[in-house]
Amino acid sequence: MERFVLGLDLGGTKINAAVLDDAGNLISGARNKTEAELGAESVLERIVQTGAKALEGAGITPNHLYAVGIGSPGPLDWRTGVIIESAHLNFDHFPLGPRLAERFGRPVFVDNDVNAGTYGEFKKGAARGASHVLGMFVGTGIGGGIVVKGELYHGFSKNAGEVGHMVVLAGGPRCNCGSRGCLESLASRTAIVRDLRKAVKDGRKTSLTKQHGKRLEEVSSGDLKEAYQHEDKLVQKTIKRAAKYIGIGIGSLVNVLGPEVVVLGGGVIEALADEMLPLIERSAARVAFKFSMKGVRIVRAELGDDAGVIGAAIIASERFESQGRRQQPEAASEAGR
């Protein structure tokens, strides 16, 4: 019987699911809204429903799966599948892996959502062929993933890769995490919109108010792209400032981690890569040592919204196979049986 794996990508606003065959080809997909405000149990049901829809699209049942992988916001314990805390999802020590394993009847392997996206790009996307990869995804927030010698790096805390909470401007804006001057507080879409709102309040003009009025919190990455291309001076200035800080973060991480490839993804980059990447590269080069930066490629992600589900599925497949090689079936309980 042909074998399949289900990949799931859990976000604060949407859930993606995809079925991959044993060769890593994407067979079918499904999407759903998260509706996190309804609580953890409701989110769990919506994850199951989205996965079931993807299985239906592939013409299979859970009996055809050998494993399930899911990427989730953290912090989390990837070994036990427990989400320690996730403010956007109202999770508090929620056993996501074990609960999904009960529902699907298959081993479930959990990892950070941006780790999954980075791993997807490493295996099937823009970082194919590299061994040392840094992923940075810029959207509502900023997340990161690290691949060292071909393997995801989790660190002692099991939650390494929180690049969005690296301080790049001491005493800078307050971040949602409580610190000041985090990269996320300076260069995420949330930060960009905050800066635009403040500028408008101070009397600056932007074309975005024609569409959104005072409700600039509704501005999308696509809206920012359109305004930038129409030479909205305020938007251009704000985007360029965000690109500068992203470059500072990348340059610092290049000095520390020595990646071969830096993959940039997320909604902001997907919309504004042409405008931002040259600025990011110049900013990174000013910060990183010349010898550290030599040969390093800073590239845009290739897989889009599929990066997370593909990465989660491949993570599940590899961990399942690894457990089989160790001949320790009980190890599946670590990932949530």
Which CATH number fits the domain that encloses residue 276?
3.30.420.40
Average pLDDT of the residues in 215-225: 89
Beta-sheet pairing, 261-265 with 133-138: parallel
| pTM score of the predicted model | 0.92
Q: What is the pLDDT of residues 152-188, one digit of tens each?
A: 999 999 999 999 999 999 999 999 889 999 999 999 9
Torsion angle of alpha carbons 251, 255, 261, 264, nearest 10°? -30
Query: Does any domain span residue 121?
Result: no
Distance CA 53, CA 47 (A): 10
Query: Residue 324: what pLDDT?
Result: 67
In a domain, 253, yes or no: yes
High-pLDDT (> 90) share of the chain, %: 85
* Separation between Cα atoms, residue 244 and residue 227, nearest integer Å: 19
Count of residues for the chain? 337
Looking at the structure, tell me whether residues 54 and 160 fall in a common domain.
no
Do 31 and 108 share a domain, yes or no? yes
Axis-axis angle for helices 221-229, 233-257 (nearest 10): 120
Contact 268, 221 (CB under 8 A): yes
* pLDDT at residue 94 greater than cutoff 60: yes
Under DSSP, the state recorded for 178 is S
Structurally, how many domains does the chain consist of? 2
Q: Are residues 148 and 282 in the same domain?
A: yes
> Looking at the predicted structure, is the pLDDT value of residue 332 above 60?
no
- Stronger pLDDT, 323 or 72, i.e. the higher one: 72
pLDDT score of 90: 83
> Do 284 and 145 lie in a common domain?
yes
DSSP string, 271-307: HHHHHHHHHHHHHHHHHS-HHHHTT-EEEE-SSTTHH
159, 265: one domain: yes
pLDDT at residue 274 tops 80: yes
Work out the average pLDDT over 1-11.
Answer: 91
Asked whether the predicted pLDDT for residue 336 surpasses 50, the reply is no
State yes or no: pLDDT of 311 exceeds 70.
yes
For residues 83 and 157, membership in a common domain is answered with no
| Domain, as residue range, for 294 | 126-300
Q: Which of 22-31, 95-104, 207-216, 276-285 has the lowest mean pLDDT?
A: 207-216
Could you give the CA distance from residue 289 to residue 34 in angstroms, rounded to a whole number? 42
User: Each residue of 110-162: pLDDT tens digit?
Assistant: 999 999 999 999 999 999 999 999 999 999 899 999 999 999 999 999 999 99
Same domain for 132 and 166? yes
65-72 sheet: strands from edge to edge: 26-33, 14-21, 4-10, 65-72, 108-112
Q: Mark whether 311 and 184 lie in a shared domain.
A: no
Is 44's pLDDT higher than 60? Answer: yes
Lateral strand order in the sheet of 261-265: 151-152, 142-148, 133-138, 261-265, 297-300
Same domain as 76, residue 57 = yes
Q: What is the chain's mean pLDDT, rounded? A: 92
Banded model confidence at residue 325, pLDDT cuts 50, 70, 90: low
Pair 95, 138 in one domain: no
At 21-40, the pLDDT tens digits run 988 899 999 999 999 889 99
User: Is residue 118 in some structural domain?
Assistant: no
Question: Same domain for 79 and 63?
Answer: yes
Pick the range with the lowest mean pLDDT from 86-95, 197-206, 296-305: 86-95
